Amino acid sequence: MTTRLYENPIFLEHRTPPGHPERPDRLRSLNIALEHPNFSGLERKEAPQANEDAVTLAHPEEHLFAVMREVPEEDERINQIEADTYASQKSLQVALTAIGGAMAAVDDVMTGKADNVFVAGRPPGHHAEKTRAMGFCLFNTVAIAARHAQKVYGVERVAIVDWDVHHGNGTQDIFWDDPSVLFCSTHQMPLYPWTGKKEEAGAHGTIVNAPLSENAGSDHFREAFKSRVLPALHDFAPDLILISAGFDAHHRDPLAQINLVGEDFDWATGRLMEVADRFAGNRVVSLLEGGYDLEGLAESAGMHISRLMKG
Ligand SMILES: [Zn+2]
């Protein structure tokens, strides 16, 4: 497999208050893991910054303006947008670079420059609803990537698989009544953002939620994947698979208690690659979402990327 990774030093410049789990050290930790010789075959590229217009692929213009108004002019200032979501001076550029990396990743798999791509960006995006920044997220990067694939390459069916331990309420909100996008999510429930029940299926049955209880562990996670996520993917036959790759279901993570291990992310990646091989010409684009224990994140993201490289 040809695997690319998008990164950019600007990703370290979205700042949150001291003690906030979504912090620049997350990417520093992943970077150290990527120094291992296993990753020497990875094509590492600098993520480009998207134009502001890209945001409107998944959000009304008003949401873009609302976020822009929250960005402080002073270097030292950090503005609180809502409960736990913040903006610092460079946050708009940083979020646009996460979007630019995701769009470039879609370009790469659609034009055959890579089989699959991982975007090591921040802030995460899957909690951002059409008109609301929340849960550390300003814009819904994975939704924008899906729309980009449809708009530029005419991709008919995009599947988004979200294994972040929190429900991807924003992605669900954006694609609720869109039968061209399948959204599958495994997540701990009850847990922030308190959505993601099985009964939430979208207007066309293309939302597939697989909630897991506290302490679910590897077996229940894999069972949910096998019984809900994989059958939905086979029925849908996607032309492109996007992954909202959060690693906060890892047992070390301080924000949740599903208690997965690194091998679970390797396993889930392998299953999605089988689906991509069958239906989508191997095309997989994976975007970093959550993952707040530095060691747990480095271990599980490393195993995920290794699997992408090996096939
Ligand atoms: Zn999360």
- Domains of the chain and any CATH numbers: 3-310 (3.40.800.20)
Ligand 1 centroid–CA 192 distance in Å is 9
What secondary structure does DSSP assign to 171-237, as a single string? HHHHHTT-TTEEEEEEEESS-TT----TT---TTS-EEEEEE-TT-HHHHHHHHIIIIIHHHHHHH-
> Which tens digits make up the pLDDT trace of 98-143?
999 999 999 999 999 999 999 999 999 999 999 999 999 999 999 9
> Which tens digits make up the pLDDT trace of 228-249?
999 999 999 999 999 999 999 9
Residue 266 clears pLDDT 90, i.e. is over it: yes
Ligand 1 centroid–CA 113 distance in Å is 30
Ligand 1 centroid–CA 198 distance in Å is 18
Q: Is the dihedral of CA 129, 65, 84, 9 positive or negative?
A: positive
Q: What is the pLDDT of residue 311?
A: 80
pLDDT band at 290 (very low <50, low <70, confident <90, very high): very high
Ligand 1 centroid–CA 165 distance in Å is 5
pLDDT band at 271 (very low <50, low <70, confident <90, very high): very high
State whether residue 24 is helix, strand or coil: coil
Ligand 1 centroid–CA 179 distance in Å is 25
Active site residues: 127
User: Which tokens is 15 given?
Assistant: 């700042």
Q: What is the pLDDT of residue 65?
A: 98
Residue 306 clears pLDDT 90, i.e. is over it: yes
Would you state the torsion angle of the CA atoms of residues 138, 142, 144, 147, taken in this order, to the nearest 10 degrees? -160
Ligand 1 centroid–CA 111 distance in Å is 31
> How does DSSP classify residue 250?
B
State whether residue 77 is helix, strand or coil: coil
Residue 279 clears pLDDT 90, i.e. is over it: yes
- Closest residue by Cα to residue 64 from 133, 147, 143: 133
| 182: Cβ contacts below 8 Å, ≥ 6 apart | 157, 158, 159, 160, 206, 208, 232, 233, 236, 238
Q: What is the pLDDT of residue 57?
A: 98
CA separation (Å) from 3 to 7, 61, 90, 95, 301?
13, 34, 29, 23, 14
Q: What is the pLDDT of residue 236?
A: 98
Ligand 1 centroid–CA 136 distance in Å is 9
Ligand 1 centroid–CA 68 distance in Å is 24
pLDDT band at 95 (very low <50, low <70, confident <90, very high): very high
pLDDT band at 296 (very low <50, low <70, confident <90, very high): very high
d(CA 279, CA 237): 6
> Which tens digits make up the pLDDT trace of 177-230?
999 999 999 999 999 999 999 999 999 999 999 999 999 999 999 999 999 999
> Which tens digits make up the pLDDT trace of 31-87?
999 999 999 999 999 999 999 999 999 999 999 999 999 999 999 999 999 999 999
Residue 6 clears pLDDT 90, i.e. is over it: yes
> How does DSSP classify residue 75?
T
Ligand 1 centroid–CA 154 distance in Å is 30
d(CA 248, CA 73): 32
Q: What are phi and psi of 147, to 5 degrees?
A: -65, -35
